[in-house]
Structure 1
Amino acid sequence: MSILRFSDDLYLIDLPQKLEGFRKFIGAWVYAGEECTFVVDPGPKSTIPHLVASLRDIGIRDVDYVLITHIHIDHAGGLGEFLRHFENAEVLVNERGKEHLINPEKLWRGSLKVLGKVAEHYGRIDPVPPERFVDSIDGIEVLYTPGHAVHHQSYIVGDYLFVGEAFGVTHEVWDDVYQRPATPPKFVHEIAMSSVKKLKSVGKKKACMGHFGMLENSLDVAEYAEKQLNLWTDAVFDAICCSSVDDFESVCRDVVHELLNKDPRFSNLEKLDADVRKREEYFTRNSIKGMYEYVKENRL
C-alpha cells in the first residue's frame, strides 16, 4: 500500500524506485487541512506520475503549497514536473536553494557526480519558474536546520514537525527502529548538532521524517540523533588514528564494525530485509564519508 494515512489531515505517499531496496525510503508528506493543502518534498521526477495519481486517489484536486526541506534530487528533483499538474501551487524553500531550482543545471550535474546511475533513475531536474516561490506561509513555522545540507529547513504545523533529514534516516523493524545519521560531504559536526538541538527545543512533536515515516516522539528521535552524531564522529576519529594506512575504505569498514557493536539502533541494520539493508549499506558509506572528511580537516 503506497498511501499511508496517519490522521484525517495527514498522509504519507511512498515513492518507490525501480532500484533494489528503494521502497519505504522516499516519501511525500501530504497535509489536507481546512486552511490549506500542501505537499512536503514531492520527490524525484520519475515518481511524479505516481504521486499525482495518489493525490487523486485521496481526493485532492488542488494543492496550495509545496514545502521543500532541501533541494537534493530525491526530495525536490521532480518539483518542476509536479507544478505542471498543479498550476496554482506555490513553493516555499530556503533562499540558498531557490536559485538552484530556478536554474538546476549545476544541481543536476552534482547529482550525477555523487549518485551516478541512481540520479539517472531519479530523472533529470526541470527548472521552476521564479514566480512560483513565496517567502512565507501563514500558519507554517520555518526553522533553518542546516547540517545535512546548507539549505536545509524544517517546518512546524500544529503537532507535526517535518524534519527532512535533520534527524537522519529511520526505518521500522519488527520490534524497534533503525536509525542512522544522514551526513554526506560536506559535513560539519557543530552545525548539524546545532540544528538537532534547535529541533529538540521545539518540544515534543510528531516527527515526520524525510526517510521514512512518522515517529510519535520527536524528542526521543532528536536525543538519539545527538548521540549518534557524537558516537559516529568519535568512531571515525578513532578508526583514522588506529589505521596503519590513510585509506577511507579501510576506515569505513572499521567504523561500521565498531558501530554495529556500540549503536543499538544502527545495529538494527541486520534486521532489515536484505534489499533494504543493501541500500542502507550504500548510504551508510556516504554518511561516514562526510564525517571522515570533517575529522581529517578539523580534528587531526
Structure 2
Amino acid sequence: MAATVHQFGPHLFLIVLTPPIRGFQDFIGAWLVTGPEAVYLVDVGPASTADQLIDAITALGVDRLDYICLTHIHLDHAGAVGHLARQFPGTPVVCHPQGAPHIVDPERLWQGTVKTLGETGRAYGPMLPVDPSWIATESQLASAPFRLLDTPGHSPHHFALLTTGCLFAGEAAGVCLPLSSGDIYLRPATPPRFFLETSLSSIDRLMAAGSETLCYGHFGMRGDGLRMLVRHREQILFWEKTLATAIGGGGADPTASVNRWVDLLLAQDPLLRGFSQLAPAVQIRERSFLCNSVKGFVGYLANLE
C-alpha cells in the first residue's frame, strides 16, 4: 500500500501510514520537514509501514535526512526507526534519554507492546535495533533547527519539537481527528501509568511555547493551536472530575467498570461527541483507546485514596 502525502506549505509534509489493522486509516503519520535549515522526520510510524514511509520520502525527491526525530518510543511512532536509520546511515536519531536504551535494545519494548496491545502490537511489527552511535549527541542537537520540550504527559519519554513555524506535539496534546462535518473529535491519550499534574504541566509547557500551528501525532495540523491546547487542558480536568464523582459513588471495582465510564464520558464530554460520526471500524479502534485512557485515570484516582 502506498502512503498518502499531504503538503502544508513549501517545506512541510504529512506522510500518512496505514498498518495492516482494520480502522487504522488516517490515524498514523510521519511529519517530513524539507528545509530550508535542515531535512528531518518527526516520528516514523510502525515497522510494518517502513516501506510506505521510505517510498514516500523517495518520491518526494529526498535523498538525505539531517535528523530522525522521535516524540516517544511507542511502536506506532518509533517502530520503523531502525529501518530508517539503515536507509539513511549516519543520520542522528533524536530520542528522549529515557527512551534511548529501548530503541538500542528493543526486545523488552516489543514484548511489552505485544502484552499490552495483543494483535494490534503484532501488526505494528518488531523494531530493528538502533546502534548507540546513531543516537544524537548534545553537539549535534545544538545546531538543530528545533527545540526539544520535555512533555511527559503521555509517556515519561516524550518530547515535543518546537520550530519557527510550528509545534510538533506528539501525543502530549491528545488525539485530534477532523470530522467530515468540519468539527473535531478530541480525546486524551492517558494510558496507565497516568499522573494528572504531569499531564497538565506538559500541556502548560506546550501553551507557553506560543505556537499557533499545532501538528499532532494523531492526526494532522491545526492553525488554532493555543485554543486547542486550552480545550484539551479543560477536557483533562473534566475527565478527572467526572470520573472521580462516578467512581466514588459506584461502589463496585472501578477496573471492572471501564466500559461504563467510557459510555459516561461519551455522553457528557462535548469534545467526544464526534464519536458517532466516525466509521464503525474507527469507532472500535477509538473505544479501545478510550478504555486505555480511562484506565490511566482510574489508576491515578485509586492512588489518591
TM-score where L is the length of structure 1: 0.96
Q: Secondary structure at the match of 1:154?
A: strand
- Which residue of the partner structure matches residue 170 of structure 1? 176
CA RMSD of superposed structures (Å): 1.2
Report the Cα distance in structure 2 between the residues aligned to 1:221 and 1:105, rounded to whole angstroms.
36
Deviation at 1:155, TM superposition (A): 0.5
CA distance, structure 2, for counterparts of residue 143 and residue 205 of structure 1:
16
Q: Secondary structure at the match of 1:239?
A: helix
Which residue of structure 1 lines up, in the alignment, with residue 31 of structure 2? 29
Task: Give the superposition deviation at 1:101.
Answer: 0.8
Does the CA-based 8 Å contact 1:239-1:254 persist in structure 2? no
Q: Give the alignment partner of residue 188 of structure 2, picking from 175, 178, 181.
A: 181
CA contact (8 A) 2:48 2:80 kept: yes
Q: State the identity as a percent.
A: 36
Aligned to 1:235: 242
Are 1:40 and 2:42 counterparts? yes
1:277 corresponds in structure 2 to 283
State the distance in 1 between where 2:90 and 2:132 align: 14
Unaligned 5+ residue runs, structure 1? none
SS of the residue 1:17 aligns to: coil
Provide the residue aligned with 1:201 in structure 2.
Answer: 208
Report the secondary structure of 1:295's partner residue.
helix
The alignment status of 1:256 with 2:262, answered yes or no, reads: yes
Cα distance in 1 between the residues matched to 2:91 and 2:83 = 12
AA of the residue aligned to 2:228: V
What code does the residue aligned with 1:154 have?
Answer: A
Identify the residue that residue 118 of structure 2 maps to in structure 1: 116
Greater shift, 185-194 or 61-70, is seen at 61-70
Moved over 4 A (4+): none
- Residue 90 of structure 1 and its aligned partner are, at CA, apart by 1.1
| Distance across 1 between alignment mates of 2:209 and 2:179 | 27
Query: What is the deviation of 1:157?
Result: 1.0
Counterpart in the other structure of 2:82: 80
**Selected match of 1:225 from 232, 237, 241:** 232
Q: How has the CA–CA distance of structure 1 residues 192 and 247 changed in structure 2, closer, same or farther, with 3 Å as cutoff? A: closer
Unmatched runs of 5 consecutive residues or more in structure 2 = none
Partner of residue 95, structure 1: 97
Deviations 1:45-94 (A, max 9, x none): 10000000011111111111111100011111110111111113211111
Partner of 1:267: 273
How many residue pairs get aligned? The number is: 298
User: Equivalent residue of 2:32, what SS?
Assistant: strand
| 1:3-52 deviations in Å (ceiling 9; x for gaps) | 01111100001111221110111100000012210001101110000000
Q: What amino acid does structure 1 have at the position aligned with 2:24?
A: F
Which sits farther off after the overlay, 132-141 or 93-102? 132-141
What is the rounded CA distance, in whole Å, between the counterparts of 1:70 and 1:143 in structure 2?
Answer: 12
Q: Deviations over 1:136-166 (max 9, x none)?
A: 1432111100010001010111121000000
Moved more, 203-212 or 257-266: 257-266
Q: Counterpart of 1:211 in 2: which secondary structure?
A: coil
Q: CA deviation at 1:113?
A: 1.2
